[in-house]
Amino acid sequence: MRTHLGAPIAFDREAGGYSYASSGEHPYELPGLWFSASELIALLTVQQLLTEAQPGLLESSIAPLRNRIEQILRTCHPAQDQVGKRVRILRMASRRGDSEHFPAIAGAVLKRKRLLIMYHGRSRNETTERLVSPQRIIHYRDNWYLDAWDHSKRGLRSFSVDRIKKARALDIQAKEIAEEKLNSHFASAYGIFAGRANKKAILRFSPERSRWVADEVWHPKQKGGFENGRYVLEIPYGDSRELVMDILKHGPEVEVLAPESLRVEVRDRLARSIAQYQTDGSQKRSIPRAGSNRKKDRSAVHRLTF
């Protein structure tokens, strides 16, 4: 127990035997839950996933647990050190941020306490002090967000954790928001943007790209099916910004069928993109418009048809 579990066992001359040492910084007690070797490896794997997904996040809190698990596993599973070598996560578009405030934020969410934060908003480039009642933390596209009730704005807001410059938990009970209301506000629309979904996008993909998109989940309430070898995807949305970005990354392999406002928005984005690659002396290329003769545009291999 002393060797494998780190128990502070010492010889007591007066008692004539061994006992737990009474001195030390932390009291010791036997673990209340025992794991098999496979369960311990699963714990290490989860910890490795978290470490690679967000380096430094909760490292100070998790490191002692990881060291203890590794120490136990060395006695029964020599391959435990393979977890760090064989588990890999490729991070994409994750933002650099200071993770020192994450424990305070997560603790306030779980303990249901209000938070006083200093928040820098990118859109307005302003730093403001906000009193919020945290509701939940969200990991979305390699970044963390805090859904909370903003007491100054008297409404629900989503805060990017990497833009929270200071966070202090208060000894004040957080305002509780019903889960149904949270889901209606944050989860019904498309992507990270909050609000109710009041429109429906209909996208049609090329036969080649359909083989991938048919297995993807863009929205929990999406609908999809094949029509003449092409996958048609229906997605509810409110704010179109993130949806447009996801459409554009598929280039000529997708066409927006409806609504017309989304077709126009994507078409205009493409027009502005093409304009950036035209030199001063070059002849302007025509951008296809909704309802135009598609046969004239088939020679443009890399053009999206609208």
What is the per-residue pLDDT across 72-101, written as a single tens digit (0 to 9) for each? 666 665 555 666 666 666 777 777 665 678
DSSP character for 199? E
Q: 133: which strand partners? A: 149
Reported as half-sphere exposure (CB side, CA atoms, 13 A), residue 241 has a value of 5
pLDDT at residue number 300: 36
pLDDT at residue number 283: 53
Lowest model confidence (mean pLDDT) among 39-53, 94-108, 126-140, 222-236: 39-53
28 neighbors 68 (Cβ within 8 angstroms):
no
pLDDT tier, 306 (very low <50, low <70, confident <90, very high otherwise): very low
Farthest CA pair distance, the chain? 99
Q: Give the ranges where 75-152 is alpha helix by DSSP (H).
A: 83-86, 102-111
Residue 189, pLDDT > 70, answer: yes
Query: Cβ atoms within 10 A of the Cβ of 267, count?
Result: 18
Cα gap 252→297, rounded to integer Å:
12
User: Which amino acid type is present at position 152?
Assistant: S
Cα gap 287→268, rounded to integer Å:
9
User: Which amino acid type is present at position 91?
Assistant: R
Domain boundaries, the chain: 2-86, 99-182, 199-297
pLDDT tier, 301 (very low <50, low <70, confident <90, very high otherwise): very low
pLDDT at residue number 142: 78
5 neighbors 31 (Cβ within 8 angstroms):
yes
Averaged pLDDT, 121-125:
87
* 196 or 77: which leads in pLDDT: 196
pLDDT tens, position by position, 244-289: 999 999 999 999 999 999 999 999 999 999 999 986 555 555 555 5
170 neighbors 121 (Cβ within 8 angstroms):
no
For strand 143-150 and strand 126-140, is the pairing parallel, antiparallel, or unpaired? Answer: antiparallel
CATH architecture assignment, domain 99-182: Roll (2.30)
Cα gap 115→290, rounded to integer Å:
49
**Whole-Å CA distances, 119 to 126, 132, 177:** 8, 11, 22
pLDDT at residue number 295: 44
pLDDT tier, 185 (very low <50, low <70, confident <90, very high otherwise): confident
Mean pLDDT of all residues belonging to the chain: 80
pLDDT > 70 fraction of the chain, expressed in percent and rounded: 69
Residue 116: both structure tokens together: 């006083």
Cis, bond preceding 207 (omega within 30 deg of 0) = no
* 26 or 242: which leads in pLDDT: 242
Residue 110, pLDDT > 90, answer: yes
- What pTM did the predictor assign? 0.66
Is the dihedral angle over the CA atoms 186, 113, 103, 155 positive or is it negative?
A: positive
- Name the nearest CA neighbour of 72 among 101, 47, 35: 35
Residue given tokens 């017309």 in the structure block: 260
